[in-house]
Structure 1
Amino acid sequence: MPHFLQNVLDALHKYSARPLIKVCFKGGEGQPIWRVVNYGEFRSDIERVAIYWLEHLGLFDVQPLDVVGIWITGEQYYDIVSIYGLSRAGFTPEILGRDLAMSEQAAVIFDILATTGAKTIIFDPSFKKEIDKLPLACFEMPELPDIPSSPEILPPLSDADEGEVALVFHPRNGRPKPILKTHRWLISQAKIEWPQLYQGGNKPAIVNSIDSFTNVKSAIAISYLACNGHCMIQPSQHDFDEEEFKALVGEGMNVVFLHASMLSKLISIGKANKQVYEAFKTLTQVIYTGASLNVEDEQWLIKNEMLATFVDTTEKSGSSVPCLTSLITETHVLPSMRPLKGLGCSLLPIGFLDNQSERHANRRQLFDLFVPADAANCPHPSACNRLDEHITGDVFEETEPGGSNDDWIRTGKHEAFCNARQIENNVLQEAADLVNNCIIVGHHEPGIVLLVEPAVPNPADENKLKSLILHRHAEFNDSLHVHEKIKSVLQIILVPQGTLPKTMEKGSSRREAAKAQHWEALQEVYTQFKTW
């Protein structure tokens, strides 16, 4: 198959005069201003950088296909040029971010590069003190204007095996495990996934970068935006406020792509601020990801006819695999999503692959999102959790034939996201003989509470039953974040059989109904939270 960058280069030539990146700078008064980089300029810049590094790294026997570390801040235009320039030179860039500026960082960097077999590292001058400690060849990045034009002509890009690694990223925290992106995956993102995620018709999208250029979502965005003739606009900060939101829209942004928590913040402002509301109304599409919104925000989008879509991009194993999206023509059923066409991903009953479906036969049917080995966006085998296949780890239920609702809530002191369905499913699986049905509630509350219909009516010893349920759930419970944990039997409330809201209702509405049913008992539990 072609090198993933070949499709990008073809597009850079085809759309030469179109804007590709609107790069953000701080103006004289600290206000953001934007400079337009068109497709032709970007192609010229990455080819100039490619020639420079081919010459310099070749002197140290660094060959095409070798992994080359690149340690950058991720905030500058030159950073994204360097990533694609190294790729154009035929190397395999391994992108390292500012967040690795930690104690003993040289040792961390060296361990990371050793894991992937990187031959060398190029680095932003701001990291020079740390880089000097590394026992391998290191090269400081010159400023882009200091890289001379060259009469040399780059060799054509070689074809790649579909499973060959094209780019290497790392998650942010700890000593990160490499995230390997293959040519097949990147081409899938450009040719299959983005054309379905963007639902604005033939109008070119101008969409914000969702994070720094060291983040996989922002770094690869150029490849799929370019292939489709679209444009990225860079915010001055990734948690931008309402003033910058309005400025971005004024600069031409017609698609906003945000994590749900960020969108919720802007929605709360838009409810009271007419200018922010009007800015929303000009957008061709609002795309959000990471978790579903709370019911009130969903209803605000629906009531005000915002062209919003919810995208599932799982972060399990760093795979960041977009597999499902809602439809802009069906905003009234947010956050219900459908599998993207042409990928081969499917929703399978939980336990189906392990011949455990019968265990769930008499309970509400939940689904795993299954990514087969031959799916165009199947993660690299290093990130797969079933030999070469992958189950994302998210849990879904069918909301209508072909549609699914990824049901998360926000809970705890900091209102962090919690995968309520995953917890419910574990309880139903591990305590199948004890629990007939259960629901997690706790959206915008101090913590979660598990409402349980016992398998046996009127249990003789309720505390013993709660303890057994908690014991069965213990192993999974230990793997969760603190705000997702059931720490005590006080967080388990037993309710009569058949009284919990039925599963055909929309997930978020079902939780709200259960919360209303057991309001007084829940308030007693939440009072206890204050003493823990």
Structure 2
Amino acid sequence: MARTHTPRSHLSVLHTSASRFASSPAFYVPQTLSESGDVASWKPISYIQFLHDVELFARHWAHVLKLDGIPRRSVIGMWLSGMTYVDVLHIYGLSRAGYIPQLFSIRLPNPDVVYELLSRANACALLVDPSFEGLLKSCPIPTHRAATTVYDIDSHDMPLPSLPTLRERDTVFIFHTSGSTSGIPKLVPCSSSWLDSAITKSHQIAMPSGRTKRNQDVTVWMGSMCHIAQTFMLLGSLQHGACTVQPSRQAFSSNELSLMIRDCGVNRLNQFATFLAQHLRNSRQNPRLLALLQTLDDALYSGLALPREEEEWAHGNGIRLRNLFGSTECGAMLLSTRGPEMFLQPLDGMSYAFVPVASQSEAGTSQGGHSAPLLELVILAESPDCPDNSLRAADGHFHTGDLFQEIRTGCYLSKGRDDDWIKSENSLRCDTKAIEDNIRATCCDLVAECVVVGNGRPSPALFIETNSDLPQPKLKREVLRRTRQFHSRRYLHERIASADMIVIVEKGSLPRTATKGNVRRRVTEEAFRTVLDKIYGTEWTGTT
């Protein structure tokens, strides 16, 4: 009889790596800050110290939650920044204590929505970042303040709980979709077998390049551990004994990046495309920054496509780009080939299908000049990374909604999505149609037509053709007043919360399709690029 595979977890990966790479640094954490708020110096945390710290936090939370009468395998909400070493200790420590973390990022600042999601997951307690304590009113479950330093944690001299024994279908984490559907994100439960597939995929992506003889790869925090991207990338780094540098913020400056490369030995840069594009632009005027970027073994970006001009310039100047395509529900799915073409290819060991979409009206032309059909990426039910049944379609598969063209056998180009979702600068999703529908429902006497844009921007912008004779400032204030309740339930990157994000244009001036007369979102974004640049105060960094 064949032996069943015991799923690996983040905890088993940590234990293995702490044994193999005990004295190597697992993290560089900030030690001093400059006047600008950038990190000026870092200190190392070894793999064995990381393991000991996780076990310290496990003892602490096992004691605290036992006093609350909460049994192991219960869901515990965690409302954290996810950007610090201590946040990792809370997440891993809670898992090590035998609980299931339900992860909320600080980009979801509405406590009512958090409470609703906690209820849907049957959560029994909430650990909260101190910055959110003031928002917690009438929380229906026990709340506990998350420590901000290791020294704030007391092990209570408790014995270390036994390692959780997990079956393939047992839930290990609960994330949330990065955009709201019907006013609230969806739960994304991650099973033990799904996490095992993420470990397999992240091992492929984090494999050392072998280009230079190094004892250790060093990379940079990609985003919040409360979202899947950094959770996934850390799994890969740990397996290869790599070190992760904690920056001052997600959109760290080029000066801080230069310091991380020089002082911490960063040789692999993992960033969302919007932030990487800023470094590429800065390097055009900064030969020293360009020289440092050229030393990197890998400049991996995700979330959005880089503007073609930036991509071509990087290739032409010896920067080793790779594009990683993924989602909250599945983690990473496709990785680009190296070189100027950068075609995307499925990761090994998964089962995907690329299915022709029903409408081919927007089919484009491939790089070879030949028309190619649009294909939707579908994660088949038998694929190890197919998400929870609650997220699958009636056919049992997971339909991503992401469109591609096959340029040659097994090589694909991303062509956007088949729906009305856009991605913000940090690659979180926003349902533009939901905003537009709310505008039409609440402001039909003021708005003749509207469209929401902002791909690759910090938040969406609203363009309005008006029915009203109201002066523009008063019209904008009225639209904001009527839609305030709707936006209060949404992530920060989904909100239109300022009159600066509303643009009034002449009736009939928004670009439309020739047949149905629908406003064309992407064409609007391109036509009003200068206006948008002025609104956001930055150069455009969205997709082309």
Asked whether the two chains share a fold, i.e. TM above 0.5, the reply is yes
> Which amino acid letter does the alignment assign opposite residue 102 of structure 2?
E
Equivalent residue, structure 2, for 1:71: 79
Task: After TM superposition, give the deviation of residue 307 of structure 1 in Å.
Answer: 1.5
8 Å Cα contact 1:371/1:389 also seen in 2: yes
Q: List aligned pairs for 1:343-362, cutoff 5 A.
A: 343-350=350-357
SS of 1:55's equivalent?
helix
Equivalent residue, structure 1, for 2:131: 126
Equivalent residue, structure 1, for 2:168: 162
Residue by residue over 1:362-408, the C-alpha shift from the partner in whole angstroms, topping out at 9 and shown as x without a partner, is: 97322221211221211222232345311211111111222111135
CA distance in 1, matches of 2:131, 2:514: 55
Equivalent residue, structure 1, for 2:258: 246
Q: List aligned pairs for 1:19-30, cutoff 5 A.
A: 19-27=25-33, 29=35, 30=37
8 Å Cα contact 2:201/2:332 also seen in 1: no
8 Å Cα contact 2:203/2:239 also seen in 1: no
Indicate how the Cα distance of structure 1 residues 240 and 155 shifts in structure 2: closer, same or farther if over 3 A, else same: closer
Is the radius of gyration larger for structure 1 or structure 2? Answer: 1
CA distance in 2, matches of 1:303, 1:221: 27
CA distance in 1, matches of 2:132, 2:374: 48
SS of 2:266's equivalent?
coil
Asked whether 1:18 is paired with 2:31, we answer no
> Which amino acid letter does the alignment assign opposite residue 344 of structure 1?
S
Equivalent residue, structure 1, for 2:194: 185
Task: After TM superposition, give the deviation of residue 70 of structure 1 in Å.
Answer: 1.8
8 Å Cα contact 1:291/1:408 also seen in 2: no
CA distance in 2, matches of 1:416, 1:110: 25
Higher relative contact order (CA closer than 8 Å, sequence separation 6+): 2
Gaps of 5+ in 2: 1-5, 364-369, 430-454, 462-495, 497-501, 516-522, 532-544
> Which amino acid letter does the alignment assign opposite residue 109 of structure 2?
A
Task: After TM superposition, give the deviation of residue 155 of structure 1 in Å.
Answer: 4.1
8 Å Cα contact 1:24/1:35 also seen in 2: yes
Equivalent residue, structure 1, for 2:185: 176
Equivalent residue, structure 2, for 1:100: 108
Residue by residue over 1:468-526, the C-alpha shift from the partner in whole angstroms, topping out at 9 and shown as x without a partner, is: xxxxxxxxxxxxx999xxx88954479xxxxxxxxxxxxxxxxxxxxxxxxxxx99x95
Equivalent residue, structure 2, for 1:2: 7
Q: List aligned pairs for 1:40-439, cutoff 5 A.
A: 40-102=48-110, 105=111, 107-131=112-136, 133-142=138-147, 143-149=149-155, 152-171=158-177, 175-196=184-205, 198=207, 200-201=209-210, 203=214, 204-250=216-262, 251-314=264-327, 318-328=328-338, 331-334=339-342, 336-350=343-357, 364-407=372-415
**Structure with the bigger percentage of helix:** 1
SS of 1:270's equivalent?
helix
CA distance in 2, matches of 1:415, 1:43: 33
Equivalent residue, structure 1, for 2:477: none
8 Å Cα contact 2:208/2:217 also seen in 1: no
Tell me the TM-score normalised to structure 1 length.
0.71
Residue by residue over 1:119-173, the C-alpha shift from the partner in whole angstroms, topping out at 9 and shown as x without a partner, is: 1112233333333521322223355314345654434323322232211123456
> Which amino acid letter does the alignment assign opposite residue 90 of structure 1?
G
CA distance in 2, matches of 1:347, 1:163: 27
Residue by residue over 1:296-347, the C-alpha shift from the partner in whole angstroms, topping out at 9 and shown as x without a partner, is: 2222122223211111113xxx42531111123xx1212x111111112233
> Which amino acid letter does the alignment assign opposite residue 216 of structure 1?
I
8 Å Cα contact 2:294/2:319 also seen in 1: yes
CA distance in 1, matches of 2:277, 2:153: 43
CA distance in 2, matches of 1:118, 1:312: 31
Residue by residue over 1:268-322, the C-alpha shift from the partner in whole angstroms, topping out at 9 and shown as x without a partner, is: 12122101111111101011112322222222122223211111113xxx42531
CA distance in 2, matches of 1:197, 1:284: 11
Q: Which of 205-214 and 155-164 deviates more?
A: 155-164
> Which amino acid letter does the alignment assign opposite residue 291 of structure 2?
E
Tell me the TM-score normalised to structure 2 length.
0.69
Task: After TM superposition, give the deviation of residue 75 of structure 1 in Å.
Answer: 3.5
CA distance in 2, matches of 1:237, 1:136: 31
8 Å Cα contact 1:337/1:405 also seen in 2: yes
Gaps of 5+ in 1: 420-442, 448-480, 495-521
8 Å Cα contact 1:67/1:116 also seen in 2: yes
8 Å Cα contact 1:3/1:159 also seen in 2: no
Task: After TM superposition, give the deviation of residue 179 of structure 1 in Å.
Answer: 2.3
CA distance in 2, matches of 1:63, 1:224: 31
Task: After TM superposition, give the deviation of residue 254 of structure 1 in Å.
Answer: 0.7
Indicate how the Cα distance of structure 1 residues 192 and 126 shifts in structure 2: closer, same or farther if over 3 A, else same: closer
SS of 1:373's equivalent?
coil
CA distance in 2, matches of 1:219, 1:364: 35
8 Å Cα contact 1:12/1:40 also seen in 2: yes
CA distance in 1, matches of 2:390, 2:117: 15
SS of 1:382's equivalent?
helix
Task: After TM superposition, give the deviation of residue 52 of structure 1 in Å.
Answer: 1.6
> Which amino acid letter does the alignment assign opposite residue 134 of structure 1?
C
8 Å Cα contact 2:128/2:144 also seen in 1: yes
Task: After TM superposition, give the deviation of residue 55 of structure 1 in Å.
Answer: 1.8
Percent identity (aligned): 23
Q: Which of 277-286 and 91-100 deviates more?
A: 91-100
Task: After TM superposition, give the deviation of residue 10 of structure 1 in Å.
Answer: 1.8
> Which amino acid letter does the alignment assign opposite residue 18 of structure 1?
S
8 Å Cα contact 2:14/2:51 also seen in 1: no
8 Å Cα contact 2:18/2:51 also seen in 1: yes
